[in-house]
A = this chain, B = another copy of it.
Amino acid sequence: MRPGTHRPSVPLEHRHVTRRIPQARDRGIPDATVARLPLYLRALNGLSERGTPTVSSEDLAMAAGVNSAKLRKDLSHLGSYGTRGVGYDVQYLIYQISRELGLTQDWAVAIVGVGNLGRALANYGGFASRGFRIAGLLDADPAVVGDRIAGLVVEHTDELESVIAGRAVSIVVIATPATAAQHVCDRVTEAGVTSILNFAPVVLNVPEGVDVRKVDLSIELQILAFHEQRKANGGPIMAEEWPGGVEQVNERSIGASS
List chain A positions with a Cβ less than 8 A from chain B: 1-2, 5, 25, 27, 34-35, 37-39, 41-43, 45-46, 48-54, 63-65, 89, 91-92, 94-96, 98-103, 105, 107, 109, 115-117, 119-121, 123-132, 170-171, 194-197, 201, 203, 205, 209, 211, 213, 215-231, 234-243, 247-258
Contacts and interface: CB of A to CB of B under 8 A. Distances in A.
Given A34-B223, A101-B226, A220-B213, A95 B249 contact: yes
Q: How many copies does the complex hold?
A: 2
Contact of A129 (B96, B107, B247, B255): B255
The 9 nearest A-B residue pairs measured at CB = A102-B229, A51-B254, A116-B120, A126-B218, A65-B203, A38-B222, A38-B219, A102-B225, A195-B224
Contacts of A64: 203
B42 A257 contact: yes
Among A45, A50, A203, A224, max chain B CB count under 10 A is at A224
Contacts of A225: 101-103, 107, 131-132, 171, 195
